[in-house]
Amino acid sequence: MNILIINGPNLNLLGTRETEIYGNSTYKVLVQYIKKYAKVHKVSVKIYQSNHEGKIIDYIQKHQKKYQAIIINPGAFTHYSYAIRDCLSAYSLKKIEVHLSNIYEREDFRKVSVIKDVVDMSVLGKGFDSYIEAIDLLLKGEIK
């Protein structure tokens, strides 16, 4: 299985940003963690991070044909990016939204996800393991 993993704004700040919420591990460690797990499970992953909405959309549009699924952590775009929502909606790939923290247990503005209605499932609040659970759901065929 080929999975495209997209990370939105400020994920590149992992390890320094609000460590009480996101922990001390860096984005580089996250990428290595995902790639190691994917390799063991014979999954091909392409991981991309951008702080720019248009770049994320361009990347999905350019690469979506090569992948069977998208795992996306839209970061703050979760709460207001109808452009990313529409981009995801345009494709019939399997799609899972992930978040390191549980957005529904945080500030009120984070409790709104404009993405959730165009993805097959959301995995929240499990730190780096949110990505691993998403990969497992795809591998087990639990996302139809």
Digit-coded pLDDT (tens) for 53-104: 999 999 999 999 999 999 999 999 999 999 999 999 999 999 999 999 999 9
User: CB–CB of 125/73 below 8 Å?
Assistant: no
Starting at the edge strand found earlier in the chain, the sheet holding 121-124 runs 44-49, 2-7, 69-73, 94-99, 121-124
Q: In terms of residues, how long is the chain?
A: 144
Angle at 69 between CA 64 and CA 72, to 5 degrees: 85
Q: Which residues are catalytic?
A: 22, 99
Of 97, 78, 85, the residue nearest 138 (C-alpha): 97
As a whole number of angstroms, the distance between CA 90 and CA 76 comes to 21
Helix (H, G, I), strand (E, B) or coil at 90: coil
User: CB–CB of 123/137 below 8 Å?
Assistant: yes
The 3-state secondary structure of 11-62 reads HHHCCCCCHHHHCCCCHHHHHHHHHHHHHHCCCEEEEEECCCHHHHHHHHHH
Tens digit of each residue's pLDDT (9 = 90 or more) over 29-54: 999 999 999 999 999 999 999 999 99
Question: What are the sequence ranges of the domains in the chain?
Answer: 2-140
- Categorize the per-residue pLDDT at 143 as very low, low, confident or very high, splitting at 50, 70 and 90: confident
Say what the pLDDT of residue 9 is: 97
Tens digit of each residue's pLDDT (9 = 90 or more) over 94-113: 999 999 999 999 999 989 99
What residue numbers does the annotated binding site cover?
Answer: 73, 79, 86, 100-101, 110
What residue numbers does the annotated binding site for substrate cover?
Answer: 73, 79, 86, 100-101, 110
Say what the pLDDT of residue 142 is: 85
Q: Is the dihedral of CA 115, 118, 119, 122 positive or negative?
A: positive
The CATH number that domain 2-140 falls under is 3.40.50.9100
Say what the pLDDT of residue 121 is: 96
